[in-house]
């Protein structure tokens, strides 16, 4: 089974740059998108017709054109949840949780802590709520997968210029400490199961030819609970796929 995750940074803009062709040529069983920045009705022109029969959407309730996540799947989930039950988090369209027969999939667009730490408290509170929720799901005994734009480069190896970014959003000590806590709870960064080298990035600023020069950050992930890590077959970054300032990430897994 192949699963992909991609911060599309505006699905309508991506639709003008070949997104539909990519979507309908993909062999993935499930594709999770973040930062779609549109309602499903607004976005249909970008992906219709779709090879995926089951499409799930969660857009920001109080701010049009902001945030939003979507999931495209060949298989219908047994259940889908769009909220944590906390209004300040649920209003921003960041959450899709799908329960399948053998696994539970979290498609999450984690908050950006922003300049001058403007949303660091919001972000840490959101992340804490996510961790509490995923720990409850773990009691099901099913494989637990969490993917999306975490907006955190976990370790120095995960960005080009760590020393210059030590006080910048996405590499703040509190953010990295939270990621340490998440991993310590028993979740594996799937890419690092297979590849330990540097310069594996998933986001590049549009400025300064950063993508061509590979001056980037790895902030998009697939995590799996340690009990089911043995099911993984591969994890990868699809750097050659354009259309956003992020690129897709994915896993192959026996489920």
CATH classification code of 2-253:
3.60.10.10
What distance in Å separates the CA atoms of residue 129 and residue 100, rounded to the nearest whole number? 22
Q: CA 190, 32, 201: angle at the middle one, nearest 5?
A: 50
- Residue 48's pLDDT is 83
pLDDT digit string (tens) for 204-220? 999 999 999 999 999 99
| Separation in Å, CA 151 to CA 76, 147, 205 | 29, 12, 13
The residue from 149, 189, 225, 245 that is catalytic is 149
Q: Determine the Cα–Cα distance for residues 123 and 114; give it in Å rounded to an integer.
A: 10
CA dihedral for 110, 114, 117, 122, sign (positive or negative): negative
Element (H, E) at 19: helix 19-25
Q: What is the DSSP letter of 84?
A: -
Q: Which regions in the chain score pLDDT beneath 70?
A: none
What pLDDT does residue 240 have?
A: 96
pLDDT at 243: 94
DSSP code of 65? T
Reply yes or no on whether 149 is catalytic. Answer: yes
Question: Which of these, 46, 49, 37, lies nearest to 16 by C-alpha position?
Answer: 46
Helix (H, G, I), strand (E, B) or coil at 118: coil
């Amino acid at each position: 089974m192949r699963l992909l995750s991609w911060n599309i940074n505006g699905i309508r803009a991506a639709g003008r740059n070949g997104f539909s062709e990519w979507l309908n040529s993909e062999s993935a069983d499930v594709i999770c998108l973040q930062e779609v920045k549109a309602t499903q009705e607004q976005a249909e022109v970008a992906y219709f017709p779709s090879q995926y029969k089951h499409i799930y959407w969660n857009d920001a309730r109080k701010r049009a054109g902001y945030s939003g996540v979507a999931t495209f799947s060949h298989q219908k989930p047994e259940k889908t949840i769009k909220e944590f039950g906390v209004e300040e988090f649920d209003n921003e369209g960041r959450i899709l949780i799908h329960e399948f027969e053998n696994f539970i999939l979290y498609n999450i667009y984690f908050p950006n802590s922003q300049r001058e730490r403007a949303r660091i408290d919001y972000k840490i509170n959101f992340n804490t709520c996510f961790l509490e929720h995923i720990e409850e799901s773990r009691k099901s005994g099913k494989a637990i997968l969490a993917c999306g734009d975490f907006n955190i480069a976990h370790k120095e190896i995960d960005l080009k210029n760590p020393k210059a970014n030590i006080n910048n959003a996405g590499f703040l000590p509190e953010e990295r400490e939270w990621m340490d806590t998440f991993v310590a709870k028993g979740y594996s960064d799937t890419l690092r199961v297979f590849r330990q080298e540097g310069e594996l990035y998933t986001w590049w600023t549009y400025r300064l030819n950063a993508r061509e020069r590979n001056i980037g950050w790895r902030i998009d992930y697939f995590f799996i609970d340690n009990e089911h890590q043995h099911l993984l077959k591969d994890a990868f970054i699809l750097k050659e796929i354009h259309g956003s300032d992020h690129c897709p990430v994915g896993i192959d897994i026996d489920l």
